[in-house]
Amino acid sequence: MKTAFLFPGQGAQTVGMGKDIYDNYEEAREIYKKAEEISGIDVCKLCFEGPEEELMKTENTQIAILTTSLAILEVLKKHGVKAETTAGLSLGEYGALIYGGYLSFEDGIKLIQKRGYYMGNLLPQEKYSMAAIIGLDSRKIEEVCDQIRNRGKFVVPANYNCSVQTAISGTSEAIDIAIEELKLAGAKRAIKLQTSGPFHTEKLQQASEAFAKELEKVEFKKGNDVKVIKNINGEIYAEKDNLKEILAKHIISPVRFDKAIENMKSQGITRFIEIGPGKVLTGFVKKDYPEAEIYNINSLESLQTIIK
C-alpha cells in the first residue's frame, strides 16, 4: 500500500496542539527544544498556552504549526512509519520539503520564521480576509471574482483545495461582496477563514521579494527518495527545479492542492496521513478520492493508533 504524508497550513492551529504528544515522547520534546533554540521563540508556550490572539498572528502561526508537525513526524520516523510521497498546504510544503530531504530542519525553521514575519507584516494598508467557497466549480468562482475586480474591488482565488472547494482572498469588502455573489451563483456554503492577509495573491509581492533574499542564504539539498509535490502546480519537484525561485513565487501564487490530489491518486497512493493540527487536508482528499484510507495525527491517541 502506497502512503502519502500531508502537512497542514495556516488556519489549522489551536491552543493546546501537540501538548499530549510533547508530554509522552522525548523525541517530540527535542524538536520543540531545537525549534526554540533556532528561532528564539517560546514555541511550547505559543502552542500549548497561546493566548489565541498571539497564536493567530501569522508570524507565530507558521512556526507553531510546522514545529508541531515535525515533532509528530519525528515520532513516526522513530517507529518506522514512512511515506513514498509528501505534500503540504502553503506553509505545510516546508514540512514536506524537510521530510523529502531538500531542506534541513534548521534551515526550515529559519525560513518559516522569516516567511511568517514577512507575510504577516509586509502587507498593503487595507483590511484583508479569506473565505472558503464550497460546492461551486472553480471556473465559476474565477468568473465571479473577475467581475468584482472589474468593478475595482480586489478578490481572487488563492487556494484550489479540491474540486468542490476553493478559497478566495481579497480586501474584506470584496470578500463580503464575493460571498453574496457566489452564493447567488450556486455556492452551497461560504465560510470566512482564520487568516488576515491576502495570502497567495499579488498583494504579497513585497513579502515575496523580501523572502527571496532569505532563500538565497539557504543551501537546498538534492533530496531523498520521497516524492515532494509542489503547491504552485501540483507536480513533483524535479532535480532541475529552482527551489528558491519556486518558494519565493509560492507566496504570490495560488495553491493547487486539487492538482496535488490528482497527482497522488495517479501514483496509486491509497493511504493518506495528515501530520499536525486539524484534519483539513484529508477532508479535501476524501472529497475527490472517497475510496482512499485517511488518517489524522493531531493527538496522542491518533498517533498511537498509527504506530500500532
pTM: 0.95
Contact 285, 261 (CB under 8 A): yes
Q: How far apart are CA 276 and CA 73, in angstroms?
A: 9
Question: Does residue 161 sit in the same domain as residue 116?
Answer: no
Which of 129, 138, 200, 250 does the annotation list as catalytic? 200
At 217, which amino acid appears? K
Domain span including residue 78: 2-122+203-307
Q: What is the pLDDT of residue 130?
A: 92
Q: How far apart are CA 30 and CA 255, in angstroms?
A: 31
Q: At what angle do helices 92-99 and 58-78 cross, to 10 degrees?
A: 30
Question: Does residue 182 sit in the same domain as residue 87?
Answer: no
209 burial (CB, 10 Å; 0-12 / 13-18 / 19+) is: middle
From residue 255, alpha-carbon distances to 9, 260, 283 in Å are: 11, 10, 16
Residues pairing with 4 in the sheet: 85, 272
Question: Does residue 285 sit in the same domain as residue 215?
Answer: yes
148, 165, 197 — which closes off a domain? 197
From residue 5, alpha-carbon distances to 63, 97, 282, 302 in Å are: 19, 11, 10, 15
Contact 71, 17 (CB under 8 A): no
The count of structural domains within the chain is: 2
Question: Does residue 89 sit in the same domain as residue 13?
Answer: yes
Question: Does residue 164 sit in the same domain as residue 118?
Answer: no
Cell numbers placing 221: 539539498
Question: Does residue 189 sit in the same domain as residue 93?
Answer: no
For the stretch 19-49, pLDDT in tens is 999 999 999 999 999 999 999 999 999 999 9
Question: Does residue 242 sit in the same domain as residue 191?
Answer: no
Question: Does residue 146 sit in the same domain as residue 51?
Answer: no
Question: Does residue 55 sit in the same domain as residue 188?
Answer: no
Q: What is the pLDDT of residue 193?
A: 83
Residue 101's CATH number? 3.40.366.10
Q: What is the pLDDT of residue 307?
A: 94
Q: What is the pLDDT of residue 194?
A: 66
Question: Does residue 176 sit in the same domain as residue 59?
Answer: no
Q: How open is the CA angle 10-21-43, to the nearest 5 degrees?
A: 50
Which of 69, 90, 169, 196 does the annotation list as catalytic? 90
Other Cβ atoms within 10 Å of 122 Cβ, number: 18
Residue 159's CATH number? 3.30.70.250
225 backbone dihedrals φ, ψ, rounded to 5°: -85, -5
Question: Does residue 87 sit in the same domain as residue 153?
Answer: no
Whether 200 is a known active-site residue: answer yes
Q: What is the pLDDT of residue 196?
A: 67
Q: How far apart are CA 41 and CA 36, in angstroms?
A: 5
Whether 250 is a known active-site residue: answer no
197, 217, 250 — which closes off a domain? 197
Question: Does residue 107 sit in the same domain as residue 133?
Answer: no
Q: How far apart are CA 191 and CA 189, in angstroms?
A: 7
Q: What is the pLDDT of residue 11?
A: 86
From residue 80, alpha-carbon distances to 69, 76, 220 in Å are: 16, 6, 25
Block means of pLDDT (10 residues each) for the chain, length 308 residues? 96 95 98 98 97 94 98 97 97 98 98 96 90 97 98 97 96 96 97 82 97 97 96 96 98 97 98 97 97 97 95
